[in-house]
Amino acid sequence: MKFRWSLIALCLSVAGIAAAQAEDSAQRGKIAGYTCHGCHGIENYKNVYPTYSVPKVGGQSAAYMIIALKAYASGERTHPTMHAHAASMNEQDRTDIAAFFAASKVRAAGPPVGTPPAAVATCASCHGTDGVSDNPEYPNLAGQHRDYLEHALRDYKSGKRKNGVMAGIISGVKEEEIPALAKFYASQKPALCATDKIREKGKCQ
């Protein structure tokens, strides 16, 4: 019994250390990611050309954000500004900035809002019917800007944005299904948010 309680105490201690490290990482990310706020911190801020809403990243998982930043750095995802920022980051920068983005977690809130279009069945295994993914390596889509989702899906479909999993999935989605799919996920709650909401309030909702 004494050994059991010692083991529990050790586990709690390790969990406490991990939580403190995650908080420290998020605090460093709040500072290191200051340049991100100029676009991702402003509600409804638009990419100039082509024109679409800059994605909300507040509430995304840290694992996904690290993957995305590495993809921009390598050129797997093409965007000049994002490539310049991501390529200048080291591993610690990416970890800290991702921890800050993930500071306000988006969690499932019950049944989806509205009737899911048929194409949602293609997306649900990775992104969830409600847009909240069970896998931290896949992005949450709940409350993301509708026009950004349409833009991203079309980039995957054309091959401009490269991802082995998405290349296979998007081939089964028709062009005419994309607007309804984007509208549905954009309507879900709880929602992702602009990063300044985390910086000012500590959470998205």
The architecture that CATH gives domain 18-107+114-201 is Orthogonal Bundle (1.10)
pLDDT of residue 110: 77
pLDDT of residue 1: 54
Residue pair 168/162 in contact (Cβ under 8 Å)? The answer is no
**Where are the domains positioned within the chain?**
18-107+114-201
pTM summary value: 0.84
CA separation for the pair 192, 58 (Å, rounded): 6
Would you give the end-to-end CA distance of the chain in angstroms? 43
Task: Name the region of 118 (left: φ>0; alpha: ψ -120 to 50; beta: rest).
Answer: alpha
Whether omega for the bond prior to residue 116 falls within 30 degrees of 0, making it cis, is no
Residue pair 60/195 in contact (Cβ under 8 Å)? The answer is no
Q: Which residues pair with 117 in a beta bridge?
A: none
Q: Show pLDDT as tens, one digit a residue, over the chain (205 residues).
A: 554 444 444 343 333 434 455 577 888 988 888 889 889 988 889 998 899 999 999 989 999 999 999 999 999 898 999 999 999 999 999 999 999 988 777 877 778 999 999 999 999 999 999 999 999 999 999 999 999 999 999 999 999 898 889 999 999 999 999 999 999 999 998 888 887 777 666 667 6
